[in-house]
Amino acid sequence: MSEIKETPLFTVTIDGQTIQVPAGTTILQAARMIGKEVAPPAMCYYGKLENTGGNCRTCMVEVTKGSEADPRPMPKLVASCRTTVMDGMVVGNKSSERAVTAREGVVEFLLINHPLDCPVCDQAGECKLQDLSYEHGKEETRYEFKRRTFETEDLGDKIQLHMNRCILCYRCVKTADQITGCREHGVMFRGDHAEISTYLEKSLDNEFIGNIIDVCPVGALTDKTFRFKNRVWFLNPVDAHRDCPTCSGKVQLWYRGDEVFRVTARKNEWNEVEDWICNTCRFDKKETQDWVIEQPSVVAKDSVIRQGHYAGKVGMVKPHETFKRVMKGRDPKLLLNIHDVSEVNEPERDLSKIDGPATSKDFKE
Ligand code: SF4
Ligand code: SF4
Ligand code: FES
């Protein structure tokens, strides 16, 4: 009788928090199991795809204890998405000065050729590079040379490539490889000359190719049916589905008023696609009657898309206008300005005098 071997559990401590995970788990996956507060940023790793990670170096961490059996620290920082845990390993992410400093350097490198396109870029508001720069970047650049530039390129009739914004994470290449079953585009050349390109200008017309837009962490791959039509923070995402013969049909519809501006796949808390969707659902079904609406999508608390998200939503009840109700329909004659009596504007809490962005600590007693 053959014995079923159970995967041993390894204990790993990340930023002081300990967890047990099956052998073979990477440091990044273990950190995600603990929670967002210890999870390193990941610009190229993508849980839904195979063999991703190891390209961007944003997930670097310091291993201060290799394992129980060999407690020596690892001499160099390691990519947490590519390093598996050992039993007894101790890892520093945000608590490691070396990792934090190295990440600043990685962000600086990612930005040396990056254009200042945010005001016109469709990804603004949901861009992982914006978040990364805000959380881990520096305020200024030391780069003095001319930035690398490319012409925009159409990848088929629905997708446009802005190579200037690409961070060469390879996610789109892996997505095309793994879900369309045919490799139609890839990274050409190397180093400073590397660029995403379709082989022989071949258009990407596979039925699932639209998913490369969703996996792109920046605004390098844009949906031509949505480009420049709206800013994402003015849109309200709702979960919806349809009976699709090609894909799961589970999507997010992005509304402004009654109009569907774009359709995307749903994403999980790590901003990774839950179910791949087909091009028909993504590009051709933009009427409410095409869909069964489920509920307002859950939007992360720290996302700019959350502003106004629940206004006018399906199934949501608008709160009563309190003043008019208690005053039996009349408008108040006098309104008290609470800013004059609250302590928020005391000189020592004047937001304009806070060194850097305000946080909840600035409002504590
Ligand atoms: S990809 Fe992100 S950081 Fe780059 S221009 Fe667009 S929004 Fe800005
Ligand atoms: S186009 Fe986007 S997904 Fe593709 S390599 Fe560049 S940044 Fe990554
Ligand atoms: S997420 Fe690990 S190297 Fe990019």
Question: Cβ contacts of residue 316 below 8 Å, gap of 6+?
Answer: 296, 310
Q: Which residue has the higher pLDDT, 77 or 179?
A: 77
Look at residue 351 and tell me if it is in a domain.
Answer: no
Taking the C-alpha atoms of residue 35 and residue 29, their distance in angstroms, rounded to an integer, is 10
C-alpha of residue 151 to centroid of ligand 1, in Å: 16
Q: How many domains does the chain have?
A: 3
Rounded CA-CA distance 143/294 in Å is 48
pTM for the predicted model, two decimal places: 0.80
In a domain, 129, yes or no: yes
Q: Do 285 and 243 fall within a single domain?
A: yes
Same domain, yes or no: 104 and 133: no
Residues 277 and 317 in one domain: yes
Separation of 185 CA from ligand 2 center, angstroms? 11
Q: Is 221 inside a domain boundary?
A: yes
Give the closest ligand to the alpha carbon of residue 217.
2
Examine the fold and report which residue of 183, 207, 228 is the final residue of a domain before the chain moves on. Answer: 228
Please tell me the distance from the alpha carbon of residue 278 to that of residue 130, in angstroms, as a whole number. Answer: 28
Distance (Å) from CA 132 to ligand 3 centroid: 13
Is the Cβ atom of 44 under 6 angstroms away from ligand 3?
yes
The reply to whether 214 and 124 lie within a common domain is: yes
Q: Is 297 in the pocket of ligand 3 (CB under 6 A)?
A: no
Ligand nearest to the CA of 115: 1
Is 364 inside a domain boundary? Answer: no
Q: What is the mean pLDDT of the chain?
A: 86
Whether the pLDDT of residue 2 is over 80: the answer is no
Dump the DSSP string for 75-123: SS-EETTT-B--TTEEEESTT-HHHHHHHHHHHHHHHTT--S-TTT-TT
* pLDDT tens track for 91-108: 999 999 999 999 999 999
* Beta strands at 159-161 and 17-22: parallel, antiparallel or unpaired: unpaired
Same domain, 40 and 101: yes
Domain CATH for 13: 3.10.20.740
Residue 200 pLDDT: 43
**Nearest alpha carbon, ligand 2 atom 6:** 166
Phi, psi of 255 (to 5 degrees): -95, 145
CA distance 300 to 294: 18
Domain that residue 33 falls in: 9-110
Q: Does residue 345 sit within a domain?
A: no
Q: The tokens of 355 are what?
A: 């060194």
Pairing of strands 259-265, 292-296: unpaired
Q: Which tens digit of pLDDT belongs to each residue from 229-272?
A: 889 998 999 999 999 999 999 999 999 988 999 999 999 999 99
- pLDDT value of residue 243: 97
**Are residues 123 and 224 both part of a single domain?**
yes
Which residue has better confidence, 89 or 197? 89
